[in-house]
């Protein structure tokens, strides 16, 4: 599958708002999200490991107040942003489903790309 341009690199701020994109996962509708943490861009399926609900409490708000962890707004599950591993709450030992991300230089400047796989890809028109 072709890489999908998500945004210019500077649009993702460390510990700040993330970007959502419509997706297809295992044949069904889904949402993926992209955030920046520790200077790197990360992407995940927007589905809590505890109960399959979206994480963000307001669209694009995935980090808890300190900006150090991703948090499920429904049950308070806490995830490490760089690994997707659950580090607290009801999902302990679980993990977010990662989305492969590539950050690279383009003619328009540095950008974040999603590299879809066989199970998780963009919604095609």
pLDDT, tens digit (0-9, with 9 covering 90-100), for 71-93? 999 888 999 999 999 999 888 78
Going along the chain from its start, the domains and CATH numbers come out as 4-120 (2.102.10.10)
Instruction: Please state, in angstroms and rounded to a whole number, the distance separating the CA atoms of residues 56 and 64.
Output: 10
pLDDT tens per residue, range 91-119: 878 999 999 999 999 999 999 999 999 99
pLDDT tens per residue, range 35-63: 999 999 999 999 999 888 999 988 999 99
- Report pTM: 0.94
Q: What is the pLDDT of residue 104?
A: 97
Instruction: Please state, in angstroms and rounded to a whole number, the distance separating the CA atoms of residues 13 and 38.
Output: 10
Residue 117: partners with Cβ closer than 8 Å, 6 or more residues away: 1, 100
Residue found under tokens 């943490």: 37
Q: What is the pLDDT of residue 41?
A: 98
């Amino acid at each position: 599958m072709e890489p999908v341009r998500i945004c210019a690199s500077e649009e993702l701020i460390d510990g700040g708002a993330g970007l959502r994109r419509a997706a297809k996962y295992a044949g069904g509708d889904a949402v993926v999200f992209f955030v920046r943490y520790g200077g790197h861009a990360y992407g995940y399926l927007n589905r809590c490991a505890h109960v399959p609900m979206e994480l963000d409490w307001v669209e694009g708000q995935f980090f808890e107040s300190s900006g150090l962890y991703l948090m499920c707004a429904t049950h308070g599950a806490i995830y490490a942003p760089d690994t997707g591993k659950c580090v607290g709450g009801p999902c302990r030992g679980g993990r977010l489903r990662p989305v492969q991300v590539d950050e690279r230089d383009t003619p328009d400047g540095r950008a974040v790309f999603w590299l879809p796989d066989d199970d998780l890809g963009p919604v095609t028109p």
